[in-house]
């Protein structure tokens, strides 16, 4: 333990003395959070949506009208078409109304959205959901009105006319509790903005971006300078070197996540769920990123190699964390990759805490997976580390 | 009894035979020089002896105990190493570097402090102890590296071209230090400066293409070759190998 602390302490002192590096590291969470924040913090407008209204019925037309009145949508009505319209002509989503008869309750609407549409796709989905919900509610209400009048008439038919005359008219209001709805519910307790969807992922990616690079070059830069060769002739074990470096990089990573989260909270007022769960997740995310970085440093021979591999890992993180695309419907190969890399677990847990106010049970499985990845990365880094420079 | 003995050491990198079956023994408090042209296998041999490289075959004995993966860390407690290039952390001061390199030897706190002070004084670095290593001259940097290698009082000190690139003053300073260390430490050094080897080494091994061409006291070797100095000897060895 003494050796680990010695490695960690002097690594930290060295990093702290390199003020330009420290400025770069510690300003990254602020600058990137602000830039990405301004990029993502927007209400999309003029999104191109196609509606294939093949039925041309009363309610399908009403849905088209609702969509036309929705904020932010630029609607094109087509007589026919399918999901192939998405990505063609820049449509963010295509709404296909193809179930007949739409007048009956239980009618359905298929919405195919742009898989890489980001915020625009999300906003389009939200607008379409609202419109469908409104039409469905009207449809159900009208259907119910028909049923109530029919019930009333039938009841009076079977009674003597003098008794029937004494009965009060059955009002629709008496049946309100049975009103139908299509069940579009908000999954969150908060008044979430689109940016909240991204903020959590941005924080996780930020940690990976900074820590993968700093941890990734920590050993290779010493190798290139020759100091690692000297270190290798001392009784410091490989475990001392990896864990000592991990400890010092962990301090840096934690600083990054704290600064980044504060920036997002203070500048963009993102919603934050349980503070303690978020802290726990942050600690584990940083540990995971640090150990992946050290594994990169252990298996590469030069700083250039380390940076390349760190960037490679970072882009894998971006692509597989689920920030760009809602991945549930993606190709099986992508889902396989996502399952066996740690990034999506970190982003999912972070989103659940920040957006869904999740408790421990909700995120426990994600946390366990991240811990397993962290341990695997650490053991692999210790195993892969080679003494000497050649 | 030799403090270090190596038997038929080979190290191959693919088809390249960097070290090809060399054997020698080094006695206590001896200064032993490894000489030869570039690519002769000096540095590879030293890297094998300092546990940085595993030999392809052969045996190494420290105090009659064979070096293996299991006892490599014990051996590291007994050896000191000053590599050819930069070996201290530039962003730490001399004193911080010494404290860092003392950490794995589990020295008693007071002993560690006294040892650092003693070495700083002995190597005339006392007034520079708070200076960052990256701001030191080549000579001072090398002296600080030697101090870091001596903290745990190693039984064997490996010096890899330790005076390379230094001005004459710094070189003579380090020569004096090596002579002083001889009283307590066995030194194995590589050098390209033949005057250094002649002046300091009790014995030298002349390497060429991974093999030992000659091994003896430098003055005896010069006499045997009827040469005026070691430069001429090395020149002839290279010529013969062509």
Q: Give A304 to chain B, closest Cα distance, Å.
A: 20
Chain A CB contacts of B156 below 8 Å? none
Read off the pLDDT of residues A105-163 as tens digits, 9 standing for 90 and up. 445 677 776 554 555 666 777 777 777 777 777 776 776 677 667 776 776 677 667 76
Domain boundaries, chain B: 2-241
A10/B50 Cβ within 8 A: no
A230/B87 Cβ within 8 A: yes
Cis peptide before B237 (omega within 30 of 0): no
Residue A22 makes CB contacts below 8 A (sequence gap 6+) with A15, A16
Positions in chain A whose pLDDT score sits under 50: 100-102, 105-106, 116, 174-192, 390
A232/B104 Cβ within 8 A: no
Options 3.10.20.30, 1.25.40.10, 3.40.50.1240, 3.40.50.300; which CATH number does B2-241 get?
3.40.50.300
Look at residue A239 in the predicted model and tell me its pLDDT: 92
Which domains does chain A possess? 2-40+194-384 (no CATH), 47-173 (3.40.190)
* Residues A132 and A184: beta-carbon distance below 8 Å: yes
Query: Closest Cα to residue B82, out of B181, B215, B214?
Result: B181
Tokens of A36: 């990405």
How would residue B81 be classed by pLDDT, with cut points 50, 70 and 90?
very high
Global ipTM: 0.86
Query: Closest Cα to residue A318, out of A347, A339, A294?
Result: A347
Between the two ends of chain A, the Cα-to-Cα distance in Å is 28
Q: Per CB distance under 8 Å, which residues of A are interface residues toward B? A: 2-3, 6-7, 10, 13-15, 17-18, 225-227, 229-230, 232-237, 240, 387-390
How would residue B33 be classed by pLDDT, with cut points 50, 70 and 90?
very high
Considering CB atoms only, which of A227, A234, A388 is closest to B88? Answer: A227
How would residue B209 be classed by pLDDT, with cut points 50, 70 and 90?
confident
**H-assigned helices in A180-331:** 194-225, 227-232, 238-268, 275-299, 303-320
B132/A17 Cβ within 8 A: yes
For residue B186, the tally of other CB atoms under 10 A from its CB is: 22
């Amino acid at each position: 333990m003494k050796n680990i602390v010695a490695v960690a302490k002097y690594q930290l002192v060295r990093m702290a003395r390199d003020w330009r590096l420290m400025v770069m590291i510690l300003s990254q969470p602020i600058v990137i959070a602000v830039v990405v924040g301004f990029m993502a913090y927007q209400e999309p407008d003029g999104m191109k949506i196609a509606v294939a209204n093949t039925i041309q019925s009363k309610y399908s037309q009403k849905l088209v009208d609702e969509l036309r009145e929705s904020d932010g949508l630029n609607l094109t009505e087509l007589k026919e078409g399918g999901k192939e319209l998405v990505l063609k002509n820049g449509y963010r989503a295509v709404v296909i109304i193809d179930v007949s008869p739409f007048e009956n309750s239980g009618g359905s609407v298929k919405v195919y959205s742009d898989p890489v549409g980001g915020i625009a796709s999300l906003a389009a989905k939200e607008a379409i959901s609202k419109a469908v919900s409104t039409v469905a509610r009207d449809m159900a209400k009208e259907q119910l009105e028909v049923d109530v009048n029919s019930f009333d008439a039938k009841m009076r038919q079977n009674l003597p006319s003098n008794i029937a005359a004494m009965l009060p008219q059955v009002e629709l209001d008496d049946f309100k509790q049975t009103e139908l709805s299509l069940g579009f519910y908000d999954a969150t307790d908060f008044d979430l903005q689109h940016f909240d969807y991204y903020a959590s992922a941005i924080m996780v990616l930020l940690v990976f971006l900074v820590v993968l690079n700093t941890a990734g070059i920590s050993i290779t830069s010493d190798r290139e300078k020759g100091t690692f060769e000297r270190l290798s002739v001392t009784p410091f074990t490989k475990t001392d070197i990896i864990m000592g470096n991990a400890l010092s990089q962990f301090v840096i990573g934690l600083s990054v996540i704290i600064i980044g989260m504060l920036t997002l909270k203070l500048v963009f007022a993102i919603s934050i769920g349980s503070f303690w769960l978020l802290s726990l997740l942050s600690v584990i995310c940083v540990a995971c990123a640090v150990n992946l970085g050290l594994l990169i440093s252990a298996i590469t021979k030069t700083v250039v190699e380390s940076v390349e591999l760190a960037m490679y890992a970072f882009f894998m993180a971006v692509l597989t964390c689920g920030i760009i695309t809602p991945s549930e419907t993606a190709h099986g190969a992508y889902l396989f990759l996502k399952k066996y890399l740690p990034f999506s677990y970190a982003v999912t847990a972070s989103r659940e805490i920040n957006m869904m106010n999740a408790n421990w049970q909700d995120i426990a499985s994600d946390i366990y997976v991240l811990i397993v990845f962290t341990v695997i990365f650490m053991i692999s880094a210790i195993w892969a580390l080679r003494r000497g420079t050649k | 009894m030799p403090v270090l003995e190596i038997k038929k050491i080979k190290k191959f990198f693919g088809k390249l035979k960097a070290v090809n079956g060399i054997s020698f023994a080094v006695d206590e408090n001896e200064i032993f020089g490894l000489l030869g042209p570039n690519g002769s296998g000096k540095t590879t041999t030293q890297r094998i002896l300092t546990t940085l490289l595993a030999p392809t075959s052969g045996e190494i004995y420290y105090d009659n105990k064979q070096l293996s993966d299991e006892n490599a860390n014990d051996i590291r407690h007994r050896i000191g190493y000053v590599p050819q290039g930069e070996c201290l952390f530039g962003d730490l001061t001399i004193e911080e570097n010494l404290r860092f390199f003392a950490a794995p030897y589990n020295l008693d706190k007071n002993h560690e402090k006294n040892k650092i002070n003693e070495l700083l004084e002995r190597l005339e670095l006392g007034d520079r102890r708070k200076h960052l290593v990256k701001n030191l001259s080549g000579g001072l940097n090398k002296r600080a590296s030697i101090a870091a290698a001596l903290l745990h009082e190693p039984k064997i000190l490996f010096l890899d071209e330790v005076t390379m690139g230094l001005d004459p003053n710094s070189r003579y300073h380090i020569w004096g230090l090596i002579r002083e260390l001889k009283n307590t430490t066995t030194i194995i050094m590589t050098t390209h400066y033949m005057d250094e080897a002649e002046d300091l080494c009790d014995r030298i091994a002349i390497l060429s293409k991974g093999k030992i061409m000659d091994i003896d006291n430098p003055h005896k070797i010069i006499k045997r070759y009827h040469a005026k100095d070691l430069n001429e000897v090395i020149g002839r060895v290279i010529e013969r190998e062509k």
